[in-house]
């Protein structure tokens, strides 16, 4: 597979064990949560984790936005160890579970392991029969990643080996200095650096580290809600998603050898691409009510599908189409699984469109 060599893709983020339940809107109200949103846990949310763990329908999934995307990209690429991931976990059973899941998916992980902090968890509250999800992240050990981990010689070697980098916006709350280190490395070596807006609260409350990283970003992902908040906070003066995407693409950029690409997803509506002052639209795959099982992880899967083609140097059209395909596969499965046995046949039948 041309371009998909070992270690070509490098991700950095918050490895979390997802605790998932499918319930009704009353549970959102109980903890003052909004559907289709992501927040960091406050004191009032702490009882959720034990409460959800005791429920009959609870599911545990190896998660964290960037790690999810790395696993999906690796799943599509098939060739082992194309993707490398770094983040911080506790020296505990949950951390071992995350590491085992990543290795089983073919992803190389180099966790920074914390003795004093447990592995982070994320409460995933799915409502409306899988169509809405609310995420409440308790970062714990994930919040203690330090740039020094990247400076360990064997980890630095993995950074230098990679050609494409992806970091979700959630990591802005943890180690913005690590993001800048990776972004500058990519810029100085003419490599491709990708990020994600990830959540409206990041655009609003972490705007300073976000905008420090922005000049290094070659490809930025987001959804329509995040784009709207970004426009509001940055004073772009529009609520039109296409205009927002164009203005984001034109913001100052360090590496002038390539234009910034902005990709905005809109659920079941068109994916918006802004590049070189032009807008293009790509239709999302429409699913029936019966086919749509669980939207949790759809955005991460889109990015993973996109990256799987980007590292093979495919044109942006094919990257987006594979992103749409990957997200469509994931939302037809409970809890966003990328199980090879259940999806393998559909993978090979469908991916012929991208090769």
As annotated, the active-site residues are 300
Neighbours of 100 (CB within 10 A): 12
Helix (H, G, I), strand (E, B) or coil at 120: strand
Residues 6+ apart with CB under 8 A from 121: 16, 17, 18, 19, 49, 94, 137, 138, 140
Taking the C-alpha atoms of residue 340 and residue 163, their distance in angstroms, rounded to an integer, is 26
Taking the C-alpha atoms of residue 242 and residue 272, their distance in angstroms, rounded to an integer, is 7
DSSP β-bridge partners for residue 194: 166, 219
Residues 311, 179, 135, 297, Cα dihedral to 10°: 0
Helix (H, G, I), strand (E, B) or coil at 296: coil
Taking the C-alpha atoms of residue 305 and residue 322, their distance in angstroms, rounded to an integer, is 5
Taking the C-alpha atoms of residue 343 and residue 285, their distance in angstroms, rounded to an integer, is 17
């Amino acid at each position: 597979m041309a371009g998909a060599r070992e270690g070509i893709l490098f991700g950095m983020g918050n490895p979390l064990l997802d605790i998932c339940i499918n319930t009704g809107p009353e549970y959102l109200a109980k903890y003052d949560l909004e559907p289709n949103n992501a927040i960091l846990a406050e004191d009032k949310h702490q009882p959720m984790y034990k409460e959800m763990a005791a429920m009959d329908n609870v599911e545990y999934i190896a998660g964290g936005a960037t790690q999810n995307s790395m696993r999906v990209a690796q799943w599509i690429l098939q060739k082992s160890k194309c993707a490398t991931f770094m983040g911080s976990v506790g020296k505990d059973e949950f951390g071992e579970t995350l590491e085992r899941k990543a290795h089983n998916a073919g992803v190389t992980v180099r966790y920074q392991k914390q003795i004093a902090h447990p592995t982070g968890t994320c409460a995933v509250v799915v409502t409306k029969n899988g169509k809405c999800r609310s995420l409440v992240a308790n970062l714990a050990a994930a919040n203690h990643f330090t740039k020094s981990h990247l400076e360990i010689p064997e980890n630095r070697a993995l950074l230098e080996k990679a050609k494409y980098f992806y970091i979700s916006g959630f990591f802005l709350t943890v180690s913005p200095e690590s993001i800048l280190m990776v972004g500058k490395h990519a810029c100085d070596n003419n490599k491709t650096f990708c990020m994600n807006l990830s959540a409206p609260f990041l655009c609003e409350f972490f705007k300073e580290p976000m905008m420090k990283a922005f000049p290094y970003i070659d490809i930025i992902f987001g959804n329509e809600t995040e784009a709207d908040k970004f426009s509001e906070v940055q004073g772009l003066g529009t609520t039109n998603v296409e205009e927002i995407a164009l203005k984001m693409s034109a913001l100052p950029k360090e590496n002038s050898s390539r234009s910034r690409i902005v990709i905005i997803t809109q659920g079941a509506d068109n994916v918006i691409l802004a590049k070189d002052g032009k807008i293009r639209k790509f239709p999302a795959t429409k699913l029936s009510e019966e086919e749509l099982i669980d939207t949790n992880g759809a955005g991460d899967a889109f990015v993973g599908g996109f990256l799987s083609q980007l590292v093979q140097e495919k044109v942006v059209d094919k990257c987006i189409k594979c992103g749409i395909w990957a997200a469509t596969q994931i939302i037809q499965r409970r809890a966003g699984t990328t199980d090879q046995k259940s999806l393998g046949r559909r993978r090979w039948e469908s991916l012929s469109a991208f090769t």
